[in-house]
Amino acid sequence: MLRIGIVGLSLVGKTTLFRILTHAQTGKVPGGKPEAHVGVVKVPDPRLDRLAEMFHPQKVIHASIEYVDTPASVIQLARTGTQAAALKEMNALAHVVRVFEDSTIPVEGDAVDPKRDTESVELELILSDLAIVEKRLERLDKDLKKQKSPALEKEHLALGKAKEALEGQKPLRELALSPEEELALRGFTFLSLKPMLYVLNLGERDAARTDAAEEFALDTGLKQRPKTAVTAVCGKIEEELSELSDAESAEFLASYSLKESAISRLIRSSYRLLGLISFFTVGEDECRAWTIREGTTALEAAGEIHSDIQRGFIRAEVIPYADLIDAGGFAEARTRGTLKLEGKDYIVHDGEIVHFRHSA
């Protein structure tokens, strides 16, 4: 399961966001120590809903992501070894940034300043990585003096490249790495290498501003950075929304001139940020979205479902979502020739409906 860590400074809305995402009640564990909370969240996908209308399956299974609420300021976490280890397990980070003004809630620094917060957290992640890189390089220098080793030399080169970036205050996620360098660095689980989703926590007054994330991305220079995305929510409104029925929430949204909850968008951004796509399997028993990385082959995709299906793989019947909807069913799609037979090296695309033919 893919894990996204919800991180940020203190009192910015991390737990609020986590609770909205998971609809979970959070408590404190005995002893007063706040625990890290983990919750599995469905990835909303209107395409899957539409397929379910077409096939009337008994079960509809969405793709899912695991979100983890972190208990303290990310700066504190990055500085404490044991806590940083928990951060290292995450596949990506969602950095909640306080934009809302509220005089009753203490703010780090003199005033609410989202740009400053993103920069100071980024710097902290960079410093945490730099300390690891320097320590390892020292060790490697010693070892390489004693004995030449191509593997260690490769690692040395990759770490040297990382060091240069970090010293220039560039997070590792923005570094163009060859597959070999990526492999050499992977084991260190660097924090600044993780894909980063900035989640602006807006005040109620700004909730209807659909351009808030875009404007922030432009102002801070975060737009178009690799493995970086920005999205905005209003924690306060989403919190109230999550407690309402569907009918009530439509009315509530309208009172803020909002069309839809920002949470679906947030979840979809996290999913995309991880380089993930979905393919679907459909049938009367089950319609299901499966999560794969971009570039996954039909044979690998089969393995996501079951190792038996992978082992007995014969062919994949594939049709893009729009073509199936257009045809209204498999029979018509077959007639039109939009349902295709593909081999094991076929690269599966986002939204394709796949049926695997396999031997038992």
Binding region for ligand GDP (CB under 6 A)? 8, 10-16, 100, 102, 105, 201, 203, 234-236
Residue from 15, 128, 261, 278 touching Mg ion (CB under 5 A): that is 15
CB 248 to ligand GDP: min, Å: 20
Q: Give the x/- contact pattern for Mg ion in 142-181, rule: CB under 5 A.
A: ----------------------------------------
Query: Cβ closer to ligand GDP: 78 or 319?
Result: 78
CB 334 to ligand GDP: min, Å: 51
Separation of alpha carbons 324 and 333, rounded Å: 6
Name which of 102, 17, 49 is nearest 288 in CA terms: 49
And the tokens for 285?
Answer: 């028993």
Query: Cβ closer to ligand GDP: 15 or 296?
Result: 15
Separation of alpha carbons 343 and 53, rounded Å: 29
Query: Cβ closer to ligand GDP: 204 or 323?
Result: 204
- Read off the amino acid at residue 10: S
Query: Cβ closer to Mg ion: 69 or 352?
Result: 69
CB 95 to ligand GDP: min, Å: 11
Separation of alpha carbons 253 and 50, rounded Å: 24
Sign of CA dihedral 227, 187, 169, 3: positive
Instruction: Tell me how far apart the 2 most distant CA atoms of the chain are, in Å.
Output: 72
Query: Cβ closer to ligand GDP: 57 or 203?
Result: 203
Name which of 177, 158, 173, 167 is nearest 226 in CA terms: 173
* Contacted entry of ligand GDP, Mg ion, none for residue 201, CB cut-off 5 to 8 Å set by kind: ligand GDP
Query: Cβ closer to Mg ion: 68 or 319?
Result: 68
Name which of 99, 108, 123 is nearest 72 in CA terms: 108
Separation of alpha carbons 262 and 199, rounded Å: 11
Name which of 62, 18, 75 is nearest 242 in CA terms: 18
Residue number of the CB closest to ligand GDP reads 235
Query: What is the per-residue DSSP string for 322-353?
Result: HHHHHHTSHHHHHHHT-SEEE-TTPBPPTTEE
SS3 (DSSP) at 214: helix
* Residue 70 binds to Mg ion (criterion: CB under 5 A): no
Query: Cβ closer to ligand GDP: 12 or 41?
Result: 12
CB 14 to Mg ion: min, Å: 5
Separation of alpha carbons 34 and 27, rounded Å: 8
CB 36 to ligand GDP: min, Å: 11
And the tokens for 231?
Answer: 């999205």
Name which of 182, 191, 216 is nearest 201 in CA terms: 216
* Contacted entry of ligand GDP, Mg ion, none for residue 128, CB cut-off 5 to 8 Å set by kind: none
Query: Cβ closer to ligand GDP: 209 or 358?
Result: 209
With CB under 5 A, what is the number of residues at the site for Mg ion? 2
**Which residues does 332 contact at the CB level (< 8 Å), separation at least 6?**
none
CB 267 to ligand GDP: min, Å: 18
| Binding segment toward Mg ion, per CB under 5 A, in 15-23, 120-128, 252-260, 325-333 | 15-23
CB 284 to Mg ion: min, Å: 44
- Read off the amino acid at residue 66: E
CB 15 to Mg ion: min, Å: 3
Query: Cβ closer to ligand GDP: 117 or 129?
Result: 117
Sign of CA dihedral 104, 105, 108, 111: negative
CB 237 to ligand GDP: min, Å: 7
* Contacted entry of Mg ion, ligand GDP, none for residue 37, CB cut-off 5 to 8 Å set by kind: none
Chain contacts with Mg ion (rule: CB under 5 A): 14-15
